[in-house]
Amino acid sequence: MITQKMKYALKALLILGDEGRRDHPEALTIEAIAKRSGTPKRFLEQILLEIRNAGIVASIRGRSGGYSLIKRPEDISISELLRLIDGPIAPLPCLSRRAYQRCEDCTDEASCRLRRVFSEVFWSYLILIESLSLADMLGSEQVAAQVTGA
pLDDT tens string 70-84:
999 999 999 999 999
- Judged on CB neighbours under 10 Å (0-12, 13-18, 19+), 53 is exposed
Distance in angstroms (rounded) separating the CA atoms of residues 149 and 80: 33
* CATH class of the domain comprising 1-76: mainly alpha
Asked if 60 and 66 touch (Cβ cutoff 8 Å), the reply is yes
Which tens digit of pLDDT belongs to each residue from 119-146?
A: 989 999 999 999 999 999 999 654 444 3
pLDDT attached to residue 1: 79
118-145 burial: b if 16+ Cβ within 10 Å, else e = bbeebeeebeeeeebbbeebbeeeeeee
Confidence of residue 25 (pLDDT cuts 50, 70, 90): confident
**What is the structure's pLDDT at 141?**
54
* Residues pairing with 133 in the sheet: 77
Task: Check residue 110 and give its pLDDT.
Answer: 87
Q: If 0-12 CB within 10 Å is exposed, 13-18 middle and 19+ buried, where does residue 22 land?
A: exposed
User: Residue 111: pLDDT band by 50, 70, 90 thresholds?
Assistant: confident
Burial class (CB in 10 A: 0-12, 13-18, 19+), 90: buried
Of all residues in the chain, the percent with pLDDT exceeding 90 is 56
Compute the mean pLDDT over every residue in the chain, rounded to the nearest whole number: 88
147 pLDDT more than 50: no
- pLDDT, position 98: 85
More confident residue, 133 or 1: 133
For residue 52, pLDDT over 60 is answered with yes
pLDDT in tens, 33-50: 999 999 999 999 999 999
